[in-house]
Amino acid sequence: MAHHSWAEPYKIKMVELIKMTSREEREKAIREAGYNTFLLRSEDVYIDLLTDSGVGAMSDQQWAGMMLGDEAYAGSRNFYHLRDTVEEYYSYRYTVPTHQGRGAENILSQILIEPGDFVPGNMYFTTTRLHQELAGATFVDVIIDEAHDPVSEHPFKGNVDFAKLDALVERVGAGHIPYVCIATCVNMAGGQPISLENLRRLRKWCDQHDIMLVHDMTRVAENAYFIQQREHGQQDRSIREIVHEICSLTDAATMSSKKDAMVNIGGFLAMNDPGFYEKACALVVVYEGLHTYGGMAGRDMEALAIGITESVQDDHIRARVGQVEYLGQKLIAGGVPVVQPIGGHAVFLDARRILPHIPQEQFPAQALAAALYEESGVRSMERGVVSAGRDAATGENHMPKLELVRLTIPRRVYTQAHMDVTAEAVFSVMEKAEAIQGLRFTYEPEMLRFFQARFEPVA
Ligand code: F0G
């Protein structure tokens, strides 16, 4: 069969100018930022691959929707449009808007968790785990071992290991497990999908143990694409159908709509159970706003409803993941160690293999992200020991097997030429890898330390 290249299913109507800085300017900027790319000013960045969160390009339809904002305090028409769209595309009956994903995680954790509980999940996410801990639970990683191995080419590294789940029930009892938290396209594993087969089995497992199944659906469309491409019998189904099935296998969901759904801000908590919805409505007014806006403007709910419909289009998702794959393959061809298979939203550089001379205690991925910026103006993010933080009970650093730098691709923002320039920047940094020094903290925040920590070179 002839191979058909993908192309972006859109053309460009408006552009935002970006500019390259000098090496002297970047050296000063990263030093002043304490070697933390989160503390750089966006104006000092050339190609911004820090995150795919809230940085996507909205369509003309979404911008037109912004003009239809009904900014009533209560009962905005855009809320009902959003609620109906969530039910139609994602199957959940009730929607509680929140200002972003972590707002939904806060409400969910407070409602479902009792102090002393355990929440199993397919790898941790930073804000998700913190909200579980603040509510008194302990997070337990039940993802398959392959997910922690950057060179394993398992097609579904987001899968759950049922032996780990069974062992947890054996150890603590099903009564102390309020829910299983399952992420689609697992961020910290490298944007790796869970298979439909694994999820169907998990549904049965949860029913057998009378445990809820909660879905972190931040990147569900990207996960559906990998199912369509890789899973037996799924080739002829649409992304929209697969997304709907994934959601309908779960009881509730938290969503950061700043990713898949291509809006700059927003999120929601969604569920099927009316009693749970009532509790969520009672808490959302405390932390976010009334249950018909929850921290979002009417116009933002409208843009989100439209973004959801665009996010499940087959040609959109093929080009989106295709662009990430393009960068990944280019890096692999150039001999750069990356997490394989290439994920849905980002390419993850393996800092352990790129900087073997820096021990994990000296934050190799943090140092690599800083060096890449200094070299090229490309901004990336550490996803290693700094992001993993400290154990809530012992205060010791978590030492994750994956010590990664994430090159995260915003949706519909950059071109293939930007990917070429990025790959060349990584090649240049690789050539100078031996000269890169480890880092130590000069300031370490207590919670979610990676956002605001500051460092200095060790030597
Ligand atoms: N869950 C996942 C899997 C995420 O990737 C994020 C955010 C959240 C929850 C929290 O959502 O930011 O809207 O409050 N991830 C961003 C990132 C920050 O860069 O990976 P939020």
Predicted confidence (pLDDT) per residue in 119-148, tens digit: 999 999 999 999 999 999 999 999 999 999
Indicate which residue's Cα is closest to atom 12 of ligand 1: 101
User: pLDDT grade, residue 5 (50/70/90)?
Assistant: confident
The two tokens of residue 287 are: 């932390």
User: In this structure, which residue's CA is closest to atom 9 in ligand 1?
Assistant: 101
> Average of pLDDT values for 71-88?
98
Pocket test for ligand 1, best of 219, 259, 264, 304 (most atoms within 8 A of CB): 259
Band the pLDDT of 313: cuts 50, 70, 90: very high
pLDDT score for 3:
74
Q: Read off the pLDDT of each residue in 348-360 and give the average, rounded to a whole number.
A: 98
Fold agreement (23-52+314-457, 60-311): no
Q: What is the pLDDT of residue 459?
A: 80
Helix (H, G, I), strand (E, B) or coil at 295: coil
Question: Atom 8 (ligand 1): residue with closest C-alpha?
Answer: 101
Instruction: Calculate how far, in angstroms, residue 218's C-alpha sits from the geometric centre of ligand 1.
Output: 7
User: How far is residue 365 from each of residues 44, 60, 208, 243, measured CA to CA in Å?
Assistant: 21, 38, 41, 33
Section 447-454 average pLDDT: 97
31-51: average pLDDT: 98
> What is the rounded distance in angstroms from the CA atom of residue 395 to the CA atom of residue 399?
12
Q: How far is the CA of 76 from the centre of ligand 1 (A)?
A: 26
Q: What confidence category does residue 1 fall into, taking pLDDT thresholds of 50, 70 and 90?
A: low
User: Quick check: CB of 125 below 6 Å from ligand 1?
Assistant: yes
Catalytic residues, by residue number, are: 73, 125-126, 216, 259, 383, 450
Our answer on whether the CB atom of 106 is closer than 6 Å to any ligand 1 atom is: no
Residue 341 pLDDT > 80: yes
Q: What is the tens place of the pLDDT at every residue in 181-190?
A: 999 999 999 9
127 lines ligand 1 (CB under 6 A): yes
Q: What is the 187 CA–ligand 1 centroid distance (Å)?
A: 8
| Ligand 1 neighbour 51 (Cβ under 6 A) | yes
Cβ-count burial of 292 within 10 angstroms (0-12 exposed, 13-18 middle, 19+ buried)? buried
Taking the CA of residue 50 as reference, the ligand 1 atom at the shortest distance is: 19
User: Minimal CA–CA distance to 90: which of 82, 98, 78?
Assistant: 82
Residue at 284: amino acid letter: V
For 245, what's the count of Cα atoms within 13 Å in the CB-facing half-sphere?
18
Quick one: pLDDT at residue 176? 98
pLDDT (average), residues 217-232: 98
Among the residue ranges 3-7, 247-251, 303-307, 439-443, the one predicted with the least confidence is 3-7
Residues near 220 by Cβ (< 8 Å), separated by ≥ 6? 90, 184, 185, 243, 246, 247, 260
Tell which CATH classification among 3.40.50.1820, 3.30.70.920, 3.40.50.300, 3.40.640.10 matches the domain 60-311. 3.40.640.10
Q: 128: Cβ below 6 Å to ligand 1?
A: yes
Whether 68 shows a pLDDT value over 60: the answer reads yes
Tens of pLDDT, residue by residue over 257-278, are: 999 999 999 999 999 999 999 9
Q: Any idea where the domains of the chain sit in the sequence?
A: 23-52+314-457, 60-311
pLDDT at 437 over 90: yes
Which of 2-11, 298-307, 428-437 has the weakest average pLDDT?
2-11
pLDDT tier for residue 4 given thresholds of 50, 70 and 90: confident
For the domain bounded by 23-52+314-457, which CATH number is listed? 3.90.1150.10
The residues, any chain, with a CB within 8 Å of residue 24's CB and separated by 6 or more, are none
DSSP state of 180: E
